[in-house]
């Protein structure tokens, strides 16, 4: 073999090795994605199998939980009482969320829960809806444990409005009807009127048949929240749970939605979770939570009169924040006005300048 042939052979071998190496790297990267997906699937499967095993370990009869009982469906009413409730989330067993929590939401009255994030407010609603069972203690309705009712019966009597309303890519009518599948047209329109939604719905292109888009993208935040409230009210629930229903809205939308909420709360046993204390000043009873326990309770007036209290501190801080926000709004408005005045002044100067040039041209023409 000549030196030239030997040289060409070496180059060919190198190219083969490089191509093989590149191919291996490509396969290796594919294996990496595969093992990543496998790891994610195993993690998800672990949670699913844990849930299945948990169901097998209990003596709960699913048929009994969901079966109909017409007599008891219409008799779920009265005070809601949390009696020394303790709770630990199954996925975070090292963290205790509620500690001997006791409170009463009186029938036909509005009860508010306030406190910092993570203090257990939303957990109370989850427990009442039977998403979880208390670790100890019990929750009762008119003295009867909520476990005496099956899940379907209980939830048929509860309306829920959360901070982020869930709307589907169907018509306004269908989105409201999800609250009560067999609702009549009259019931749906009545619920919309109670939720301050009927008037804006009638101004939509196809009224109640207007498609709202994915997650209600065709509607404003206030409009979506009123649709969600109408959905909660269409089944005429005995209990109404409001989980920071206006916290994500601007001041104008908040006022419209709050009017509808205040009207909906009348004659209903209502539990309100609120961040803005201005929305719960008229509540019959306010519970202040911290670290999973009730630390203060009373009306807005009595809690504001408590010097050094947690509620008073929260209210004072929010008032200061509102003043600062108002100052920022005023400053922004003043800047906008000044910029408009500057633009107007510049345009006026330019117009005067153009006018002077025209006048000088006229004078020159006359002199000629």
Note whether 8 and 152 are same-domain residues.
Answer: no
Q: Which H/E stretch holds residue 328?
A: helix 310-367
Tell me, yes or no, whether 74 lies in a domain. no
Please list, in sequence order, all residues whose beta carbon lies within 8 angstroms of the beta carbon of residue 67, skipping any fewer than 6 positions away: 150, 152
Note whether 37 and 134 are same-domain residues.
Answer: no
Tell me, yes or no, whether 75 lies in a domain. no
pLDDT band at residue 71 under the 50/70/90 scheme:
very low
First to last CA, the chain: 104
Note whether 124 and 220 are same-domain residues.
Answer: yes
Looking at mean pLDDT, say which of 137-146, 195-204, 212-221 comes out highest. 137-146
Q: Domain with 158 in it: what CATH number?
A: 3.40.50.300
Give mean pLDDT, residues 94-100. 85
Residues linked to residue 243 through DSSP beta bridges, in sequence order: 273
Tell me, yes or no, whether 241 lies in a domain. yes
Note whether 349 and 233 are same-domain residues.
Answer: no
DSSP alpha helices (H): ranges in 108-203?
121-128, 151-156, 172-177, 185-194, 198-202
Give the tens place of pLDDT for each residue, 158-179.
888 887 888 888 888 888 888 8
> Can you give the residue range of the structural domain that contains 359?
309-368
Note whether 194 and 138 are same-domain residues.
Answer: yes
d(CA 234, CA 172): 13
Q: Which H/E stretch holds residue 272?
A: strand 269-273
Note whether 344 and 238 are same-domain residues.
Answer: no
Tell me, yes or no, whether 72 lies in a domain. no
| Count of the separate structural domains present in the chain | 3
pLDDT band at residue 72 under the 50/70/90 scheme:
very low
Tell me, yes or no, whether 64 lies in a domain. no
Tell me, yes or no, whether 168 lies in a domain. yes
Tell me, yes or no, whether 315 lies in a domain. yes
pLDDT band at residue 57 under the 50/70/90 scheme:
very low
* Res 170: pLDDT: 86
Give the tens place of pLDDT for each residue, 274-283.
877 777 888 8
Does position 363 have pLDDT exceeding 50, yes or no?
no
Long-range contacts of 144-147 (CB under 8 A, 24+ apart): 144/78
Tell me, yes or no, whether 151 lies in a domain. yes
**Domain termination residue (choose one: 259, 289, 308):** 308
**Is the pTM higher than 0.75?**
no
Please indicate whether residue 366 or residue 276 has the higher confidence score (pLDDT): 276
- Rg of the chain over Cα atoms, rounded to whole angstroms, equals 32
d(CA 115, CA 290): 6
């Amino acid at each position: 073999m000549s030196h030239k042939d030997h040289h060409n052979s070496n180059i060919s071998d190198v190219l083969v090795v490089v191509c093989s190496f590149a191919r291996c790297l490509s396969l290796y990267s594919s294996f990496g994605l595969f093992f990543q997906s496998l790891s994610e699937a195993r993690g998800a499967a672990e949670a699913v199998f844990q849930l299945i095993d948990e169901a097998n370990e209990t003596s709960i009869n699913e048929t009994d939980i969901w079966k109909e009982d017409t007599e008891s469906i219409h008799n779920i009413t009265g005070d809601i009482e949390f009696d020394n409730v303790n709770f630990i989330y199954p996925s975070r067993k090292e963290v205790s969320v509620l500690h001997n929590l006791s409170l009463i939401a009186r029938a036909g009255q509005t009860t508010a829960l306030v406190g910092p994030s993570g203090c257990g407010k939303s957990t109370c609603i989850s427990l009442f809806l039977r998403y979880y069972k208390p670790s100890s203690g019990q929750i009762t309705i008119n003295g009867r444990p909520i476990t005496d009712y099956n899940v379907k019966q209980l939830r048929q009597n509860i309306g829920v409005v959360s901070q982020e309303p869930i709307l589907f890519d169907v018509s306004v009518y269908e989105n409201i009807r999800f609250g009560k599948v067999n609702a009549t047209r009259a019931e749906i329109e009545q619920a919309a009127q109670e939720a301050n939604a009927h008037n804006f719905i009638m101004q939509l292109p196809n009224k109640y048949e207007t498609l709202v888009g994915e997650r209600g993208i065709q509607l404003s935040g206030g409009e979506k929240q009123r649709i969600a409230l109408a959905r909660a009210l269409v089944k005429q629930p005995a209990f109404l749970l409001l989980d920071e229903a206006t916290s994500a809205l601007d001041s104008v939308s908040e006022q419209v939605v709050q009017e509808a909420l205040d009207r909906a709360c009348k004659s209903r046993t209502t539990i309100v979770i609120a961040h803005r204390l201005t929305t719960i000043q008229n509540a019959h009873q306010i519970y202040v939570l911290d670290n999973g326990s009730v630390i203060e309770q009373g009306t807005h007036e009595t809690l504001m009169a408590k010097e050094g209290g947690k509620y008073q501190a929260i209210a004072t801080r929010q008032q200061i924040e509102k003043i600062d926000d108002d100052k920022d709004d005023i400053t922004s408005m003043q800047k906008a006005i000044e910029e408009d005045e500057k633009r107007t002044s510049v345009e006026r100067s330019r117009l005067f300048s153009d006018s002077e040039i025209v006048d000088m041209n006229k004078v020159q023409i006359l002199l000629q």
